[in-house]
Amino acid sequence: MPDLIGLGLSEKTDAAWHTLDNHLEQLGALVEHLDLRDVLLVVQDWGGPIGTGAFLGREERLTGLVVLNTLLGPPRPGFKATAFHRFSQTPYISDFVFKTLGFLKRALWSGQGDRKSIGRLETRAYTWPLSDNREAPLALARMVPDSMEHPSVQPLTRVAELIEAYDGPAAIVWGDRDPVLGKLKKRIARAMPQAELTETQAGHFLQEEVPGPIAEAIRRVHEGHANRPGHAG
Protein backbone atom coordinates (compact mmCIF):
# COMPACT_ATOMS: atom_id res chain seq x y z
CA MET A 1 0.00 0.00 0.00
CA PRO A 2 2.06 2.96 -1.19
CA ASP A 3 1.58 6.49 0.05
CA LEU A 4 0.54 8.81 -2.74
CA ILE A 5 3.07 11.49 -3.58
CA GLY A 6 2.63 14.43 -1.22
CA LEU A 7 0.56 12.38 1.24
CA GLY A 8 1.26 10.10 4.17
CA LEU A 9 4.97 9.73 4.82
CA SER A 10 6.05 10.55 1.28
CA GLU A 11 7.96 13.70 0.42
CA LYS A 12 5.70 16.73 0.37
CA THR A 13 5.05 18.73 -2.77
CA ASP A 14 3.36 22.02 -3.54
CA ALA A 15 -0.35 22.18 -4.22
CA ALA A 16 0.07 22.72 -7.97
CA TRP A 17 1.64 19.26 -8.38
CA HIS A 18 -1.56 17.51 -7.32
CA THR A 19 -3.26 16.70 -10.61
CA LEU A 20 -4.93 13.43 -11.45
CA ASP A 21 -2.59 12.95 -14.41
CA ASN A 22 0.47 13.31 -12.15
CA HIS A 23 -0.85 10.79 -9.63
CA LEU A 24 -1.71 8.28 -12.36
CA GLU A 25 1.75 8.62 -13.86
CA GLN A 26 3.54 8.16 -10.54
CA LEU A 27 1.52 5.15 -9.36
CA GLY A 28 1.71 3.58 -12.80
CA ALA A 29 5.50 3.95 -12.70
CA LEU A 30 5.53 2.12 -9.37
CA VAL A 31 3.48 -0.73 -10.82
CA GLU A 32 6.08 -1.02 -13.59
CA HIS A 33 9.05 -0.70 -11.22
CA LEU A 34 7.79 -3.48 -8.95
CA ASP A 35 6.59 -5.50 -11.96
CA LEU A 36 3.26 -6.13 -10.25
CA ARG A 37 1.14 -8.83 -11.85
CA ASP A 38 -2.04 -10.70 -10.88
CA VAL A 39 -3.09 -7.65 -8.90
CA LEU A 40 -6.27 -7.76 -6.81
CA LEU A 41 -6.93 -4.05 -6.35
CA VAL A 42 -9.06 -2.62 -3.53
CA VAL A 43 -9.95 1.06 -3.96
CA GLN A 44 -11.79 3.78 -2.08
CA ASP A 45 -12.18 7.56 -2.49
CA TRP A 46 -9.36 8.98 -4.68
CA GLY A 47 -7.86 5.49 -4.66
CA GLY A 48 -10.55 4.56 -7.18
CA PRO A 49 -9.49 6.64 -10.17
CA ILE A 50 -5.83 6.76 -9.14
CA GLY A 51 -5.56 3.05 -8.38
CA THR A 52 -7.39 1.81 -11.44
CA GLY A 53 -5.86 4.54 -13.61
CA ALA A 54 -2.40 3.26 -12.73
CA PHE A 55 -3.27 0.23 -14.88
CA LEU A 56 -4.05 2.21 -18.02
CA GLY A 57 -1.92 0.52 -20.68
CA ARG A 58 -1.20 -2.26 -18.17
CA GLU A 59 -4.65 -3.83 -18.06
CA GLU A 60 -3.30 -7.38 -18.23
CA ARG A 61 -1.75 -6.92 -14.77
CA LEU A 62 -5.14 -6.27 -13.14
CA THR A 63 -6.97 -9.50 -12.33
CA GLY A 64 -9.35 -8.59 -9.50
CA LEU A 65 -11.15 -5.44 -8.38
CA VAL A 66 -13.00 -4.54 -5.16
CA VAL A 67 -14.58 -1.09 -5.20
CA LEU A 68 -15.63 0.86 -2.11
CA ASN A 69 -17.13 4.37 -2.16
CA THR A 70 -15.35 6.18 -4.97
CA LEU A 71 -15.79 7.60 -8.48
CA LEU A 72 -14.63 5.78 -11.61
CA GLY A 73 -15.47 8.18 -14.40
CA PRO A 74 -16.14 11.78 -15.35
CA PRO A 75 -19.24 13.71 -14.35
CA ARG A 76 -22.10 13.94 -16.79
CA PRO A 77 -22.59 17.18 -18.76
CA GLY A 78 -24.74 19.60 -16.85
CA PHE A 79 -23.83 18.17 -13.45
CA LYS A 80 -23.66 20.30 -10.33
CA ALA A 81 -20.71 19.81 -7.98
CA THR A 82 -21.48 19.09 -4.32
CA ALA A 83 -21.56 21.98 -1.88
CA PHE A 84 -18.36 20.65 -0.33
CA HIS A 85 -16.46 20.66 -3.62
CA ARG A 86 -17.88 24.02 -4.68
CA PHE A 87 -16.62 25.43 -1.41
CA SER A 88 -13.15 23.92 -1.94
CA GLN A 89 -12.83 25.92 -5.17
CA THR A 90 -13.58 29.22 -3.41
CA PRO A 91 -10.36 31.29 -3.27
CA TYR A 92 -8.95 32.49 0.05
CA ILE A 93 -11.74 31.36 2.35
CA SER A 94 -11.27 27.66 1.53
CA ASP A 95 -7.50 28.08 1.95
CA PHE A 96 -8.11 29.51 5.41
CA VAL A 97 -10.62 26.87 6.46
CA PHE A 98 -8.62 23.89 5.14
CA LYS A 99 -5.06 25.00 5.83
CA THR A 100 -5.37 27.15 8.93
CA LEU A 101 -8.37 25.63 10.70
CA GLY A 102 -7.66 22.08 9.53
CA PHE A 103 -11.30 21.56 8.55
CA LEU A 104 -11.08 18.01 7.18
CA LYS A 105 -8.84 16.81 9.95
CA ARG A 106 -11.38 17.90 12.56
CA ALA A 107 -14.50 16.59 10.86
CA LEU A 108 -13.73 13.06 9.65
CA TRP A 109 -16.53 11.67 11.82
CA SER A 110 -19.13 13.80 10.01
CA GLY A 111 -19.09 11.57 6.92
CA GLN A 112 -19.77 8.35 8.82
CA GLY A 113 -22.94 6.34 9.17
CA ASP A 114 -21.91 5.58 12.75
CA ARG A 115 -20.13 8.72 13.87
CA LYS A 116 -18.58 6.86 16.79
CA SER A 117 -16.64 4.74 14.29
CA ILE A 118 -14.06 7.52 14.01
CA GLY A 119 -13.12 8.59 17.50
CA ARG A 120 -10.07 10.30 18.91
CA LEU A 121 -7.61 7.47 18.19
CA GLU A 122 -8.89 6.88 14.66
CA THR A 123 -8.75 10.60 13.93
CA ARG A 124 -5.16 10.71 15.15
CA ALA A 125 -4.23 7.79 12.88
CA TYR A 126 -5.80 9.43 9.82
CA THR A 127 -4.47 12.92 10.45
CA TRP A 128 -1.00 12.37 11.89
CA PRO A 129 0.63 11.85 8.46
CA LEU A 130 -0.86 15.20 7.44
CA SER A 131 0.40 17.09 10.49
CA ASP A 132 3.15 18.80 8.48
CA ASN A 133 1.20 19.01 5.23
CA ARG A 134 -1.40 21.74 4.89
CA GLU A 135 -1.49 21.65 1.08
CA ALA A 136 -2.65 18.16 0.15
CA PRO A 137 -6.19 17.93 1.62
CA LEU A 138 -7.37 21.06 -0.17
CA ALA A 139 -5.43 20.20 -3.33
CA LEU A 140 -7.16 16.82 -3.56
CA ALA A 141 -10.56 18.39 -2.97
CA ARG A 142 -9.82 20.75 -5.85
CA MET A 143 -8.93 17.79 -8.07
CA VAL A 144 -12.65 16.93 -8.14
CA PRO A 145 -14.25 18.41 -11.27
CA ASP A 146 -16.48 21.43 -10.80
CA SER A 147 -17.11 21.77 -14.56
CA MET A 148 -16.62 19.76 -17.74
CA GLU A 149 -13.54 21.89 -18.46
CA HIS A 150 -11.77 20.75 -15.29
CA PRO A 151 -8.39 19.03 -15.99
CA SER A 152 -9.48 15.86 -14.16
CA VAL A 153 -12.27 15.16 -16.67
CA GLN A 154 -10.01 13.75 -19.37
CA PRO A 155 -8.13 11.23 -17.17
CA LEU A 156 -11.42 10.26 -15.51
CA THR A 157 -12.79 9.51 -18.98
CA ARG A 158 -9.88 7.15 -19.61
CA VAL A 159 -10.51 5.46 -16.25
CA ALA A 160 -14.16 4.93 -17.22
CA GLU A 161 -13.05 3.29 -20.46
CA LEU A 162 -10.77 0.93 -18.53
CA ILE A 163 -13.60 -0.03 -16.17
CA GLU A 164 -15.98 -0.60 -19.08
CA ALA A 165 -13.49 -2.94 -20.75
CA TYR A 166 -12.57 -4.82 -17.56
CA ASP A 167 -14.37 -8.18 -17.41
CA GLY A 168 -12.52 -9.86 -14.56
CA PRO A 169 -13.80 -10.77 -11.09
CA ALA A 170 -15.12 -7.76 -9.20
CA ALA A 171 -17.17 -6.75 -6.18
CA ILE A 172 -18.65 -3.54 -4.83
CA VAL A 173 -19.14 -2.75 -1.13
CA TRP A 174 -20.99 0.52 -0.66
CA GLY A 175 -21.70 2.84 2.24
CA ASP A 176 -25.11 4.36 1.53
CA ARG A 177 -24.74 7.03 4.22
CA ASP A 178 -21.69 8.65 2.63
CA PRO A 179 -22.77 12.30 2.21
CA VAL A 180 -20.36 12.95 -0.67
CA LEU A 181 -20.10 9.76 -2.75
CA GLY A 182 -23.08 7.71 -1.59
CA LYS A 183 -25.27 8.76 -4.51
CA LEU A 184 -22.83 7.27 -7.05
CA LYS A 185 -23.70 3.68 -6.13
CA LYS A 186 -26.02 2.97 -9.07
CA ARG A 187 -23.62 4.48 -11.57
CA ILE A 188 -20.74 2.34 -10.27
CA ALA A 189 -22.93 -0.77 -10.34
CA ARG A 190 -23.97 -0.12 -13.95
CA ALA A 191 -20.33 0.29 -14.97
CA MET A 192 -19.41 -3.08 -13.40
CA PRO A 193 -22.31 -5.45 -14.19
CA GLN A 194 -20.27 -8.51 -13.21
CA ALA A 195 -19.69 -7.19 -9.68
CA GLU A 196 -21.77 -8.38 -6.73
CA LEU A 197 -23.02 -5.33 -4.83
CA THR A 198 -23.06 -5.31 -1.03
CA GLU A 199 -25.02 -2.36 0.33
CA THR A 200 -24.40 -1.13 3.87
CA GLN A 201 -25.46 1.71 6.14
CA ALA A 202 -21.84 2.81 6.53
CA GLY A 203 -20.53 6.24 5.61
CA HIS A 204 -17.48 7.48 3.73
CA PHE A 205 -14.73 5.60 5.55
CA LEU A 206 -16.66 2.35 5.41
CA GLN A 207 -13.55 0.32 6.19
CA GLU A 208 -13.95 1.61 9.75
CA GLU A 209 -17.58 0.43 9.95
CA VAL A 210 -17.99 -2.73 7.86
CA PRO A 211 -14.57 -4.44 7.62
CA GLY A 212 -16.20 -7.89 7.57
CA PRO A 213 -18.17 -7.43 4.31
CA ILE A 214 -15.11 -5.83 2.70
CA ALA A 215 -12.91 -8.79 3.66
CA GLU A 216 -15.57 -11.18 2.37
CA ALA A 217 -15.71 -9.33 -0.97
CA ILE A 218 -11.93 -9.56 -1.32
CA ARG A 219 -12.10 -13.30 -0.64
CA ARG A 220 -14.82 -13.81 -3.26
CA VAL A 221 -12.92 -11.88 -5.91
CA HIS A 222 -9.73 -13.80 -5.15
CA GLU A 223 -11.56 -17.10 -5.46
CA GLY A 224 -13.24 -15.92 -8.64
CA HIS A 225 -9.87 -15.24 -10.21
CA ALA A 226 -8.38 -18.50 -8.99
CA ASN A 227 -11.27 -20.42 -10.57
CA ARG A 228 -11.11 -18.70 -13.95
CA PRO A 229 -10.19 -20.93 -16.89
CA GLY A 230 -6.51 -20.75 -17.68
CA HIS A 231 -5.43 -19.58 -14.23
CA ALA A 232 -2.25 -21.41 -13.34
CA GLY A 233 -1.95 -20.86 -9.61
Tell me how many domains the chain contains: 1
Q: Is 45 left (phi over 0), alpha (psi -120 to 50) or beta?
A: left
* Confidence at residue 109, expressed as pLDDT on a 0 to 100 scale: 86
| Regions of the chain where pLDDT drops below 70 | 95-97, 99-106, 132-133, 228-233
Side-chain-facing half-sphere of 128: CA atoms under 13 Å: 6
* Confidence at residue 189, expressed as pLDDT on a 0 to 100 scale: 97
Q: How many other C-beta atoms can be found within 10 angstroms of the C-beta atom of residue 164?
A: 12
Q: Is 29 part of a structural domain of the chain?
A: yes
* Confidence at residue 91, expressed as pLDDT on a 0 to 100 scale: 80
CATH number, position 221: 3.40.50.1820
Q: Which domain holds residue 78?
A: 15-226
Listing from the earlier edge strand, what are the strands of the sheet with 170-175? 39-45, 62-70, 170-175, 196-200
* Confidence at residue 100, expressed as pLDDT on a 0 to 100 scale: 62
DSSP string, 51-110: HHHTTTT-GGGEEEEEEEEE--SPPPTT----HHHHHHTSTTHHHIIIIIS-HHHH-GGG
CB 31 within 8 A of CB 2: no
* Confidence at residue 42, expressed as pLDDT on a 0 to 100 scale: 97
pLDDT digits (tens, 9 = 90+) for 89-116: 778 777 666 766 566 666 788 889 999 9
> Residues of the chain with pLDDT > 90: what percent?
61
Q: Give the amino acid at 52.
A: T
Provide the whole-model pTM: 0.89
* Confidence at residue 231, expressed as pLDDT on a 0 to 100 scale: 59
Q: Is 233 part of a structural domain of the chain?
A: no
Q: Is 213 part of a structural domain of the chain?
A: yes
Q: Is 46 part of a structural domain of the chain?
A: yes
Give the separation between CA 88 and CA 107, rounded to whole angstroms. Answer: 15
CB 108 within 8 A of CB 101: no
Q: Is 76 part of a structural domain of the chain?
A: yes
Q: Is 220 part of a structural domain of the chain?
A: yes
Q: Is 2 part of a structural domain of the chain?
A: no
Q: Is 231 part of a structural domain of the chain?
A: no
